[in-house]
């Protein structure tokens, strides 16, 4: 029981680290044109339904809002 809890906690930590790294890498795209280019590349890829791709789209949507607010 204890080892399964520890394994689950490690999975959660690893997932958090992965998401934080992805957010940091995608933060380099800070213009509308750069975001459009990246989203077009994602659309052309064959990974559209994968959870990682959906997560990338959520991050990029948040960045697009930030770009629009900066004006």
Model confidence at 9: pLDDT above 80: yes
Residue 52 in domain: yes
Band of pLDDT at residue 2, cut at 50, 70 and 90: confident
Residue 12 in domain: no
Residue 18 in domain: no
Helices (H), the chain: 2-26, 32-44, 51-70
CA–CA distance from 27 to each of 1, 34, 44, 49, 64 (Å)?
39, 11, 21, 22, 10
Largest CA distance in the chain: 52
Residue 6 in domain: no
User: How many domains, in total, are found in the chain?
Assistant: 1
Residue 9 in domain: no
The residue range of the domain holding 34 is 23-71
Residue 3 in domain: no
Residue 42 in domain: yes
Q: What is the pTM of this model?
A: 0.78
Q: Which residue has the higher pLDDT, 1 or 25?
A: 25
For the residues 32-57, what does the mean pLDDT come to?
Answer: 90
Band of pLDDT at residue 61, cut at 50, 70 and 90: very high
- Please name which of 67, 13, 4, 10 lies closest in space to residue 35, comparing C-alpha atoms: 67
């Amino acid at each position: 029981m204890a080892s399964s809890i520890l394994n689950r906690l490690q999975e959660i930590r690893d997932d958090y680290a992965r998401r934080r790294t992805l957010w940091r890498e995608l933060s380099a795209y800070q213009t509308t044109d750069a975001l459009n280019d990246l989203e077009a590349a994602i659309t052309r890829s064959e990974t559209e339904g994968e959870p990682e791709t959906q997560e990338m789209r959520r991050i990029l949507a948040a960045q697009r809002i930030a770009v629009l607010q900066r004006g």
